[in-house]
Amino acid sequence: MLMLLPIVVALAATEPVPAASTAPTTSSAPTPLKEIGRVRALPACVPIVAHANGAISQALDNDRTLAIMTNNLHATDFDKLNMLQRRNAIEALMKQAEAMRVASSAGDVEVKKLREYAVNSPDPQRKAELKAFADALGGALYRQKKAAVEFMRDVTIMRGREEAQEARDIMHRDNPVPPSLIAQQMNETAANGGPLPQPPATYNKQMRLIGDTLNELTQGILVDEGIAADHSIAATSGC
């Protein structure tokens, strides 16, 4: 039976960059992004809300996918998996990253609609609020897409190195180098001040580093989502 990736129970609260926001100047946590329900006191702008919720839904789905991926990268013992199990585990992560990339693009379509509403709005205040909301939400979706693409790129590079190492192993197996010649080459390298061959990084080490990168990217996503959340009510009400 293949080893299954750990199941995440607790989910994260969590082309140029479309007006990506800068880090907050205070230590307060970003406002959690939520789908827009019925707006109290002011009537909701139904078409705007529909597109806003479409983009928000994609962003929140990506947050959950990113949290699961990051958890699995840190929690799975890739070194103890056999070759087939490890390939299946990594392939599952690649499919999640691809789903996140696709969802980000779908959310960006909704954000473009919101920007059109902002441009055409006759109300200066709503124009400003809607633009700020769309830019921040677009920034979060862009960062999510970037995280997905960077993950797939890192895995592709890792696989390329693995395949190259396998090719070298086969060559050495079929054409073994005498131990005396290996020792001579290492002595010559050391005498010339060159680096000695290092053991390859373990799968766990490589996957943990990729997981750390995703964690760092998540912080920018949460900041953008928080700004979008702060502008969401004013941007979608008062019609």
Query: Rounded to whole angstroms, how far apart are CA atoms 236 and 51?
Result: 10
Asked if residue 161 belongs to a domain, the reply is yes
Q: Is 146 helix (H, G, I), strand (E, B) or coil?
A: helix
DSSP string, 186-208: HHHHHHTTPPPP-PPPPHHHHHH
pLDDT at 49: 92
What distances in angstroms separate CA 95 from CA 63, 67, 91, 106, one per listed residue? 15, 14, 6, 17
Three-state DSSP state, 237: strand
Residue 15 included in any domain? no
Q: What is the pLDDT of residues 23-42, one digit of tens each?
A: 444 458 899 999 987 545 45
Instruction: Identify whether 113 is part of a domain.
Output: yes
* Contact partners, residue 30, CB within 8 Å, separation at least 6: 24, 222, 223, 225, 226, 227, 229
Whether 234 shows a pLDDT value over 50: the answer reads yes
* Structural tokens at position 35: 């789908």
Average pLDDT over every residue of 77-83: 91
Q: What is the DSSP string of 203-223?
A: HHHHHHHHHHHHHHHHHHHHH
Which pLDDT tens digit goes with each residue over 109-155?
A: 999 999 999 999 888 998 999 999 999 999 999 999 999 999 999 99
DSSP 22-68: PPPSSSSPPPPP----PPSSS-B-HHHHHHHHHHHHHHHHHHHHHHH
Asked whether residue 33 is domain-assigned, the answer is: no
196, 189 contact by CB (below 8 A): yes
pLDDT per residue as tens digits for the range 156-214: 988 766 655 555 555 555 555 555 554 555 555 555 665 544 444 588 999 999 999 99
61/198: higher pLDDT: 61
- Specify if 14 maps to a domain: no
64, part of any domain:
yes
CATH number at residue 84: 1.20.58
pLDDT score for 238: 74
Using CA atoms, how far apart are residues 18 and 225, in angstroms rounded to an integer? 13
Query: Could you tell me which of 7, 10, 72 has the C-alpha nearest to residue 208?
Result: 72
Residue 161 lies in domain? 46-192+202-236
81-122 residue pLDDT tens: 998 999 999 999 999 999 999 999 999 999 999 999 999 988
Domain count, the chain: 1
- Asked whether residue 51 is domain-assigned, the answer is yes
Is residue 6 one of the residues assigned to a domain?
A: no
* 20, 42, 79 from 197: Cα distances, Å: 43, 68, 21
